[in-house]
Structure 1
Amino acid sequence: MGSMGAVWGGDELDLDAYLERIGWEGGELRADLATLRAVHRAHTGAITFESLDVLFGRPVGLDVKEVEGKLVHGRRGGYCYEQNTLLAAALERIGFEVSGRGARNRSRGGSLTAVTHAVLVVTVEGEPWLCDAGFGWQGPREPVPLARPGAEVRQGEWVFRVREEADGVLVLCVPREGAWRDLYAFSPQPYHPVDYVVLNHYSSSHPRSAFVGRVVVQRQGDSERLALVGRELSRLLPDGRTERREVPAGELLALLGREFGLRLSERDAAELLRMYRAED
């Protein structure tokens, strides 16, 4: 544990339950790069990105036990603050040095956006790595090195690159249609769990938040990435092509289970269908 103690609530986490939830297949847990990579990959493969509680108008709690109850024991998904709070707690419990950062989303165009995305920087043997289980379908499956800006990082069929701008700002990029596109940018300023409480309040309740008033469910796969936003299902392929189609209400729940591994309670399923049909 770092000198500041359990900053991310790692001492409160049921680590065994978390490891079962992400499908951990054994092996000794050490604060090394191999473990970091394996835990990150398992987490992003097992826990769906979704913000349905925001759609339902429910508060999104970031206390570690609340996040564990929902994402681990309840087998739900979550969005960036929940996902990276859980990942940070697990990594801290294992013994990693974990720090937060606040990022500006650049994936929606060129206009300047507020800092609304939470990411992690984990230091292993003196080298910083970007860890992010909460950027949905476009995010990395594994840690991305930050000490070598400009180098291409291949994760299976997907490629990432970090470039450096003025004032130490780092930008995560992906190739799309023959050019590198920015996903998000973050400064060196450390963020703490209390900072994410403020960002989470905006993202879960402000009328201009991208998550308020619409379905957002996303999944990272090895051969394709999926996003259901509103009524549109997008399928992103490694070559940058995106296939899109509308999902009728009658197909919604089966699709969430089949494609996103998301099974809702009867109450949540009924509420989601009611709201989904209201968009007709």
Structure 2
Amino acid sequence: MWNSEDLDLDAYLGFLGYEGDRTPTLETLRALQRAHVLHVRWDTLDGFLYQKVRLDLPSLQDKLIRRGRGGYCYEHVTLFAAALERLGFDFTAVSARVQLGAAPQQPRPATHAMLLVDLDGARWLSDVGFGASPLEPIELADGAMSEAGPWPYLLRWQEITHGSPGWAVHQLGDGTAGREGWELRQVFTEHPQYPVDFAVGNHFVASNDRSPFVIRPFVQRMRTDRLDTLDALTWTTELPGGTADKESVPPQDVPKLLGDVFGIRVDAEESELLVRRLTELSEQD
């Protein structure tokens, strides 16, 4: 289903630096998710620059693995799903609503791609495409947590939209967002999604003039001890414990910042286009 026959599995695993076991076990899934989140870059540059994002595996491998560019959730999950399929994992794709900053009674569109992996009688949420993604899968159980990385995540079964129950991922906020500082991050159900569904969501996110990923560029890089984010021309470095430093970046400095901090390579032509578009964006403010 996920066209795994088109995947160069050795090249993908080599890019991750993964040399472990290839049997479909929880240990393998944990190792692959951690490696993917830490090595495959995350950005929305194609939506901002071209209003077009391709999801076919040859394009994804060329972009994310060979050229060292980043992508967002649909790209990450499509690539990761192909790898899991080749390795023999049993999984279901799902879509989530990212609710950070939104009122519960105002659901956002379900445009975040994730996977639910079935292993040994349990189901695990594998979310590799958020940018600031968990470094391990989370068991699909009320109250389950991930504490493998610098930021913990909590999974709850609760009311999610207009009285409907479902799963909710919470992250630690500033201590005022909810019980014990947890704030709602995304909500989802276990309703299966397929590549064609991701194609529809991807088209909206990459090309609609109301999509935040079309309006401005957004780049993230998760490390084990920090999270760097570039939102248009604002660069934020966040450390565990709530410490965050923000800095405004001139448009002409962004290509170098992408390489030095985010590990994202842009060629000369793309660099010139990015600087021009960012300059136009800054002049609108």
The equivalent of 1:213 in structure 2 is 215
Check conservation: 1:105, 1:183, Cα contact below 8 A: yes
> Could you tell me how far apart the structure 2 residues matched to 1:193 and 1:44 are?
21
Q: What runs of 5+ residues in structure 2 fail to find an aligned partner?
A: 176-180
Q: Identity over the aligned pairs, expressed in percent?
A: 36
Higher alpha-carbon deviation: 208-217 or 164-173:
164-173
Asked if the contact 2:138/2:145 (under 8 Å) is kept, the reply is no
Select which of 132, 142, 159 maps to 2:136. 142
Query: Over residues 56-106 of structure 1, what are the superposed CA-to-partner deviations in whole Å (9 max), with x where a residue is unaligned?
Result: 124211112221221122221101100110011111111111211110011
Q: Which amino acid in the other structure matches residue 236 of structure 2?
A: S
Q: Are the aligned partners of 1:141 and 1:220 in contact in 2 as well (CA < 8 Å)?
A: no
- Tell me the residue number matched to 2:178: none
Distance 1:75 1:192 in 2: 26
SS state at 2:212 partner: coil
Return the letter of the residue paired with 1:211: F
Quote the residue 2:10 is aligned against.
16
Equivalent in the alignment of 1:260: 262
How far did residue 136 of structure 1 move? 1.4
Choose which of 204, 222, 225 in structure 2 pairs with 1:223.
225
| Aligned residue in 1 for 2:70 | 77
Q: Does 1:162 align with 2:155?
A: yes
Any gaps of 5 or more consecutive residues in structure 1?
A: 1-6
Question: How big is the shift at 1:158?
Answer: 1.9
Q: CA deviation at 1:168?
A: 4.6
Q: Counterparts of 1:268 and 1:207 in 2: how far apart (Å)? A: 21
Range with greater deviation from structure 2 (56-65 or 73-82): 56-65
Q: Equivalent residue for 1:61?
A: 54
Distance 1:191 1:197 in 2: 10
CA offsets 1:85-140 (integer angstroms, 9 cap, x no match): 00111111111112111100111322321111111111111211111111113x21
Q: What's the counterpart of residue 81 of structure 2?
A: 88
Question: 2: CA distance between counterparts of 1:194 and 1:98?
Answer: 16
Counterpart position of 1:4: none
Secondary structure at the counterpart of residue 59 of structure 1: coil
Judge conservation of contact 1:175–1:240 (CA < 8 Å) in 2: no
The residue aligned with 1:44 is 37
Q: Does 1:113 align with 2:115?
A: no
Q: CA deviation at 1:155?
A: 1.2
Aligned residue pairs total 271
Give the one of 114, 127, 132 matched to 2:127: 132
Whether 2:176 is the aligned partner of 1:174: answer: no
The whole-number CA distance in structure 2 between the counterparts of 1:157 and 1:216 is 21
Contact 1:249-1:277 within 8 A present in 2 as well: yes
What is the match of residue 3 of structure 1?
Answer: none
Does the 8 Å contact 1:122/1:131 carry over to 2? yes
What amino acid does structure 1 have at the position aligned with 2:6? E
In the alignment, structure 1 residue 102 sits paired with structure 2 residue 104: no
Shift of 1:36: 0.5
TM-score w.r.t. length of structure 2: 0.91
Deviation at 1:32, TM superposition (A): 0.4
8 Å Cα contact 1:123-1:129 kept in structure 2: yes
How big is the shift at 1:239?
1.4
Using the size of structure 1 for normalisation, the TM-score is 0.92
